[in-house]
Chain A
Amino acid sequence: MRNLIAAAFCLATTPAFALNVCVEGAYPPFSETSADGSLVGFDIDMANALCEQVGETCTLVKVDWDGIIPALLEKKCDAIVASMSSTEERKQVIDFTAKYYQVPNEFVGRADSGIDPAAPGGLDGKVVGAQRGTIHQAYVEKHYPGVQLTLYGSQDEAILDLTSGRIDLIVGDAIQLEEGFVNTPAGEGYARVGEQFFDPEIHGEGAAVGVRKGDTELRDKLSAAILALRESGKYDEIQKKYFKIDIYGS
C-alpha cells in the first residue's frame, strides 16, 4: 500500500525514481542512531552523497543487520549502504558495486589480556563475540575452530558484553573498532589484540553497495558515482569528518 502511494506520488510530481536505501544504524562511526533518533555516520553521508551524485531522491530505511539482505530482496529497499563487504558468498544472493572502502580487521580485548591470536591454539577456549552473519563470524569459524563464538545482533551489543567481561575478545573491522570503541571514553583499557588481518577469501573486496541481482543499471550507476565522488573530493570531505586516514584502500 505504501509503495502504491509512493508510486502514485512519484508519477504525479517527479519523473525521477526515488531510491530506498537500507542502512543499519548500529555500527559507529559508520552508521549510528543519534540520541534524537536521526542517523549519522560515514555510511549515511555516503548514501546521501551517492544519491545526489546519481540524481535521485533517497529515503534511508533503518534495518537490523540480520534482516538487511532479506529487506533488499523483498524490495523494502533498492540498495544497501551498510559497510557490507562484497564477498563470494553474498554474491550468490545479491550484486555489489565497486568497493567504497576497504579496511583490515582485528581483535580487540582488554589491554592487559595477554592473549596472542598468532600462537598455535592461542585462542582455544576463549570466548569471542562477533556480529551474526558477518565476515567476522566466518573468519573466526574458519581460522579458530577452538574458539567459543558468541553471536550478537549488532556490534554495539558485542562491545557491551566485552566491557562487562562476559567475552574475552571481539572481532570486527579495524576502523570501526578503533574509532567506534577503543578511541572513545568507553574503550579505555582496551586495545587491539594481535596483528590486523585480511583474508580475501572471506573478507572479499571491501565494503560495497549491495543491489538486487539483475539491477545492473543501478549497480553501474552507483559504481560510477563512487568513483566520481573520489574524483570530486567529496569522498575526502566526508571521510575527514570521521577518520584521520584514507579508508578507501589501495
Chain B
Amino acid sequence: MRVDLVLENWRLFAAGTWMTLQLTFLALLIGFVIALPSGIARSRKTPFWSQLVNAYVYLFRGTPLLVQTFLIYYGLSQFEWVRDSWAWTFLRSPWWCALIAFALNSGSYATEIIRGAIETTPRGEIEAANALGLSKRQVDFLVLIPSAMRRALPQYGNEVVFMLHGSAIASVITLQDILGAGRTLNARYYLAYEGFLTAAALYMVLTFVLVFLFRQLEGHYLKHLRPRSA
C-alpha cells in the first residue's frame, strides 16, 4: 500500500470530492424539483400528467444509470442535428451530460418516494384539516405535503446515498470525480487498488456524514411519530 502516493496527490482527490459533491447535490436538487409535482400528479391520477410521469418513471427506473449516462453522452452526440442545435452547448460537456442523467434518474426515484408518502397519508389528518374548514389548497400545502415530506425522509435519505454512490459513473465519461481521481492515480503509478481504496474511503466518509444528517432530520421532523417514552 503506497499511502505516500495517495497523500502526495491529495489535491487530485480534493478536486474529485468537490466534483462528486457538486454533481450529487445539483442532481438531487433538480431531481427533487422534478419529483415534487410529478409525485403529486401520480398520487392524484391527474389525467395526462399522471400518464406522462408514469412513462418517465418507468423509463428511468427501468434502465441502469450507467446506460442512461452512456445514451446521453455517447448516444445523443452521434446525431448531427443534436450537434447543430442549441442543446449541444450543454451536451458537449461531460459535466452537463452527467448532471442531466443523474437528475432525471434521481427525479424518477424521488417521484415514487413522494407518491408513496402522499398515498399513505392517514385519512384522519385530511379529515381533521377539512373539519377545521381549511380550503383544498390549504389542506394540500399546510397538511398533506408537509406531512408526506416528513414521512418520506427515511426513504429519501436512502435515495441521497444511492445518488452519491451512483455519481461514481461520472468517471466513465472522463470526469475527474472521486473515482476518476482514484483511476488516474492508479494509471499514473501502475497501482492496482490504492486509488480505489482511497476512493472507497472517501465515499464512505461522505455516506456517514449524510446518514448522520438524515438521522438528525428524522429525529427532528418525525418526533411526533415516535412512541412516547414514559
The residue of chain A having its C-beta at the shortest distance from the C-beta of B74 within the complex is A160
The complex places the Cα of A132 from the Cα of B182 at a distance, in Å, of 12
In contact, A166 and B184 (Cβ under 8 angstroms): no
Known: A164-B77, A164-B78, A166-B77. A70 touches B186 (CB 8 A): yes
In contact, B192 and A73 (Cβ under 8 angstroms): yes
B136 within 8 A of A: no
In contact, A133 and B187 (Cβ under 8 angstroms): yes
In contact, A90 and B78 (Cβ under 8 angstroms): no
Interface string of B134-145 (1 = CB under 8 A from A): 000000000000
B181-208 contacts to A, CB under 8 A, are 183-184, 186-188, 190-193
Interface string of B69-101 (1 = CB under 8 A from A): 000001001100001000000001110000000
Of the candidates A66, A151, A157, A166, the one having the most CB atoms from chain B within 10 angstroms of its own CB is A166
- Contact partner, B172, options A71, A74, A153, A164, Cβ 8 Å: A153
- Contact partner, B83, options A69, A90, A157, A165, Cβ 8 Å: A165
In contact, B183 and A132 (Cβ under 8 angstroms): yes
A101 within 8 A of B: no
- Contact partner, A66, options B77, B174, B187, Cβ 8 Å: B187
The complex places the Cα of A166 from the Cα of B95 at a distance, in Å, of 12
The complex places the Cα of A133 from the Cα of B192 at a distance, in Å, of 13
> B interface, how many residues as a size bin?
10 to 19
Chain B interface mostly:
helix
A198 within 8 A of B: no
In contact, B190 and A69 (Cβ under 8 angstroms): yes
In contact, B174 and A70 (Cβ under 8 angstroms): no
Q: What B residues does A132 contact at CB under 8 A?
A: 183-184, 187
Q: What B residues does A165 contact at CB under 8 A?
A: 77, 83, 92
In contact, B92 and A66 (Cβ under 8 angstroms): no
In contact, B78 and A150 (Cβ under 8 angstroms): no
CB distance from B170 to the nearest CB of A (A): 13
Known: A132-B184, A165-B92. A152 touches B192 (CB 8 A): no
- Contact partner, B174, options A90, A94, A151, Cβ 8 Å: A151
CB distance from B92 to the nearest CB of A (A): 6
The residue of chain B having its C-beta at the shortest distance from the C-beta of A72 within the complex is B190
The residue of chain B having its C-beta at the shortest distance from the C-beta of A65 within the complex is B187
Kindly list the 5 A-B residue pairs having the minimum CB-CB distance in the complex, ordered from nearest.
Answer: A133-B187, A70-B192, A164-B77, A69-B190, A132-B187
What are some 27 contacts across the A-B interface (CB < 8 A)? Answer: A66-B187, A67-B186, A69-B190, A70-B186, A70-B192, A70-B193, A73-B190, A73-B192, A74-B192, A93-B190, A132-B183, A132-B184, A132-B187, A133-B187, A133-B190, A151-B174, A151-B184, A152-B174, A161-B77, A161-B174, A164-B74, A164-B78, A164-B83, A165-B77, A165-B83, A166-B77, A166-B94
Q: List 18 additional A-B contacts (Cβ < 8 Å) besides A66-B186, A94-B190, A153-B183.
A: A67-B186, A70-B186, A70-B190, A70-B192, A70-B193, A73-B192, A93-B190, A132-B187, A133-B188, A133-B190, A150-B174, A151-B174, A151-B184, A152-B174, A160-B77, A164-B74, A165-B83, A166-B92
